[in-house]
Amino acid sequence: MIKLLIVDDSALMRRQLTMLFQEEGDFDLRQARNGKEAVDLNREFQPDVVSLDINMPEMDGLTALSLLMAERPVPVVMVSSLTEKGALATFEALNLGAVDYICKPGGTISLSIDEIKAELVAKVRAAAKARVKGKSPTRDLARRLKEEREKVPAPRPVAIRRGTGGEGVVVIGVSTGGPRTLEEILPLLPATTPWPVLVVQHMPASFTKSFADRLDLICPLRVVENASPMPLEAGTIYIAKGGADMVVTRRGGKLTVLPKPENNAFLWHPSVDVLARSVLECVDPARVVGALLTGMGSDGADTFAEFKRRGARTIAESEASCVVFGMPAELIKRGGATVVLPADQVAGQILSWTGVL
């Protein structure tokens, strides 16, 4: 049995969530009406996983989360609204140690629960097995370092550094646990990184702009959401726009990245596989570096394995640092990983392969 603590100030939402998980047949359930009750029940009930609302009276979700992690760290899935404010609060929760989040769609509660049922159950089950990392100091340190660098202005690279193999790109795919992991890796890439970096993080449309802006505050490289066609340039990290798939193509002989409507042939979006396939069509594999990081499922595993077969170099994040060892494990099973590394060594390997180190 999975011990699940449901935390929400809405009695109707608590009842709907309880009924949903009771139907699964393998959950031992408790409820809390606010953050204070959640902290007490985390101590008494000792759940395997917590679903935690953000906006609650008496003690909000973020305050409760910080206390949960300080007293008895437990995997937490945040329940967030599909708004910019909800996105910002969710990223703060992930920085504090939450494993994942689920977005509340609009409409009546009963219909909303039906819309998110399969995703919610899958995320809670995965979270129950996930590794809890606690609060990350990386973001605060990276912000301070960027502020110091900006006191001495330096020009950004404006074009792709070319070599014997032509243009190069770095492709990163990530899902559950990804925002926190990316905040640990991307700030370590210097402004001199010679290849553009393409990032697919499974995330809804209302979250990716806020996420790109958040990363731009702490990364030496410029970080943008790919909301329209953009020429690929070194010195830039492109975040796939939620609600779409990101692809690379050639326009006027120049590599360009653009969003396209979701391809229904693929389960997860934005899709790592869709991006990776487009890269294979446009870029010499010898000039491709791929990193498949923490996440549920297998998105990217097939195409990254094809990367390696064609001469690209690939990284699978190791189980030791993954929040959920799903996507990287699938890549390893397919023989598609050139190296298997913990998250804190990924940036260094990328820099080595792109010629910075």
Q: Helices in 72-177 by DSSP H: which ranges?
A: 84-96, 109-128, 138-150
Which residues have a Cβ under 8 Å from the Cβ of 73 and sit 6 or more positions away? 97, 132, 134
Q: Which residue has the tokens 């402004």?
A: 191
- Residue 81 forms beta bridges with which residues? 104
Q: What is the pLDDT along the chain (357 residues), one digit of tens a residue?
A: 999 999 999 999 999 999 999 999 999 999 999 999 999 999 999 999 999 999 898 899 999 999 999 999 999 999 887 677 778 889 999 989 999 999 876 644 555 678 889 999 999 999 999 988 766 655 555 555 555 555 544 434 333 333 333 489 999 999 999 999 999 999 999 999 999 999 999 998 989 999 999 999 999 999 999 999 999 999 999 999 999 999 999 998 899 999 999 999 999 999 999 999 999 999 999 999 999 999 999 999 999 999 999 999 999 999 999 999 999 999 999 999 999 999 999 999 999 999 876
The CATH architecture annotation of domain 138-353 reads 3-Layer(aba) Sandwich (3.40)
Mapping DSSP onto H, E and C, the string for 290-348 reads EEECCECCCCCHHHHHHHHHCCCEEEEECCCCCCCECHHHHHHHCCCCCEEECHHHHHH
d(CA 261, CA 94): 28
CA gap 20, 235 in Å, rounded: 46
Neighbours of 223 (CB within 10 A): 22
Q: Tell me which CATH code domain 2-128 carries.
A: 3.40.50.2300
Domain ranges of the chain: 2-128, 138-353
Please give the positions annotated as active site. Answer: 175, 202, 299
CA distance 81 to 58: 19
**Which residues pair with residue 250 across a beta bridge?**
255
Across 209-221, b (16+ Cβ under 10 Å) vs e yields bbbbbbbbebbbb
Q: Order across the sheet with 2-7: list the strands.
A: 27-32, 2-7, 49-53, 76-81, 100-104
How far apart CA 172 and CA 247 sit, in angstroms, is 13
Query: In sequence order, what are the residues at sequence separation of 6 or more whose Cβ sits closer than 8 angstroms to the Cβ of residue 225?
Result: 208, 209, 211, 212, 238, 239, 241
Q: Hey, do 2-128 and 138-353 end up sharing a CATH topology, with the first three levels equal?
A: yes
What string of DSSP letters covers 14-46? HHHHHHHHHHHS-EEEEEESSHHHHHHHHHHT-
